[in-house]
Structure 1
Amino acid sequence: MKLRTAVVTSLAALAVTACTTTDPYTGETRPNYTGRGVLLGAAAGAALGYLTNTNDSEEGRTNALIGAGIGALAGGAIGNYMDRQEAAMREALSDTGVGVRREGNDLRLIMPGDVTFATNSADIQGQFYGILSDVSTVLNRYPATYVDVVGHADSTGPADYNQTLSENRALSVANYLIAQGVMRDRFYVAGMGERSPIASNDTPSGRQQNRRVEILIRPHTTS
């Protein structure tokens, strides 16, 4: 599939005060946004592209969801909806190696490249299909969200190679989720290459962390 890229600006997170609750699956304390009509803009600056045959703008994706009868969330319903989706996603991904992080009313799934793919390949490893199927089940249960899939690489090897690999890995994940029935027009697919590390590329463990695919799940809202 052809992937078109465009640079977008990172969104600054809006700070709010929220009550906390203990996550039933991890035991960690986290904010609970139920009853708060606040959407935090998660930092999402990236070279972004859309899958072929999807709408090429945020407005296009919004219109596609509305056209499919998926209403926009508003007010306290946003936090409640994402609380329930987060709980379902944490339960589905417990002990899989996939990280689940709450960022305001967004969810970020972090899939380690060495677990998800064969070395230097965009082919999904056989044991990971079941995990992605569980992700698709939750995404289908909560359709009022956008799904941004972004691939990342470490700095080993040529930058052009890493860019292409990150794009192809993101496409592999998105294509599988779509094949499981997740609505195509919800997707935004990108490759960042080696440009957005989360750890040092000077150590093996750091490079391992940088090889990843992230899925950002954002609520479909009225604003």
Structure 2
Amino acid sequence: MRIALISFLVLSMTACVSTDPYTGEQKASNTAKGAGIGAVTGAVIGALTSSKGDRDKGILTGAAAGAAIGGGVGFYMDKQEAKLRQRLQGSGVQVRRDGDNLHLIMPGNITFETAQYNIRSQFYPVLGSVSDVLKEFDKTAITVSGHTDSTGASDYNQTLSENRASSVKGYLVQKGIPSGRIHSVGYGKRRPIASNNNASGREQNRRVELKLEPIQ
């Protein structure tokens, strides 16, 4: 029985190893990580709550239940990430994973004209692809944040960032995403991701981001 338990835990950690299509590197998906952590936690709980004679059975039952719970959110976000990467490849939008959260980083130069907050017509198909995926994965909360570089007055940058985030939210709602799932916010120049001391850095800082979080 204990050999079976060890085999179960190992499989929980390794069954979902995947290959990153961009680097070729093999890595455990968040599904596998979550399932492994859940399995270990469930096994401990099963051991503590079972009688002496049923301890092995309790450990296996707890491990199985924990793996199912722990892997569920990770599996959901793994599928959403894969779909977004497929749909957004070559679009200029960066997809970044942070635990069970996803970040879509949309450079300002492909999203808006300079100093404007109306979405460029050329960018509509890209946002349309994003909205299609978000409609399919409807257990995801969305935060749209607008960001600027440090050039210009702070008040102007703050208003521009808010308006750009609001424009993206409005488009997603227009495409059928319930407004209750979306929160928009502008940060102006307060959250740079690169140096504002050179043109390249400022270009990176002018962006809109979508943070996608699983609704627990």
Superposition TM-score, scaled by structure 2 size = 0.74
1:129 aligns with 2:124: yes
Quick one: distance in 1 between partners of 2:20 and 2:212? 19
Quick one: distance in 2 between partners of 1:214 and 1:20? 28
Q: Aligned runs of 1:1-223 on 2, under 5 Å?
A: 21-24=18-21, 26-29=22-25, 31-35=28-32, 36=34, 74-221=69-216
Q: Per-residue CA shift, 1:115-164, capped at 9, x if unaligned?
A: 10011000111110000000000000000010000000000000000000
Q: What RMSD, in angstroms, separates the aligned Cα atoms of the two structures?
A: 2.1
Secondary structure in 1 matching 2:31: coil
Q: Per-residue CA shift, 1:18-50, capped at 9, x if unaligned?
A: 9752134x3454551114167xxxxxxxxxxxx
Q: Per-residue CA shift, 1:153-188, capped at 9, x if unaligned?
A: 000000000000000000001100110001111111
Runs (5+) with no aligned partner, structure 2: 1-12, 38-67
Superposition TM-score, scaled by structure 1 size = 0.72
Number of residue-to-residue matches in the alignment: 171
Q: Per-residue CA shift, 1:84-140, capped at 9, x if unaligned?
A: 000000001000000000100110000000110011000111110000000000000
The aligned amino acid for 1:100 is V
Closer, same or farther: CA 145–206 of 1 in aligned 2, 3 Å:
same
Residue identity over aligned pairs, in percent, reads: 49
Which is higher, the Rg of structure 1 or of structure 2?
A: 2
> Which has the larger helix fraction?
2
The aligned amino acid for 1:216 is K
Secondary structure in 1 matching 2:173: helix
Closer, same or farther: CA 189–162 of 1 in aligned 2, 3 Å:
same
Quick one: distance in 1 between partners of 2:176 and 2:121? 19
Runs (4+) off by over 2 Å: 17-21, 26-31
Compare relative contact order (CA 8 Å, sep 6+) and give the higher one, 1 or 2.
1
Runs (5+) with no aligned partner, structure 1: 1-16, 39-72
Q: 1:50 maps to what in 2?
A: none
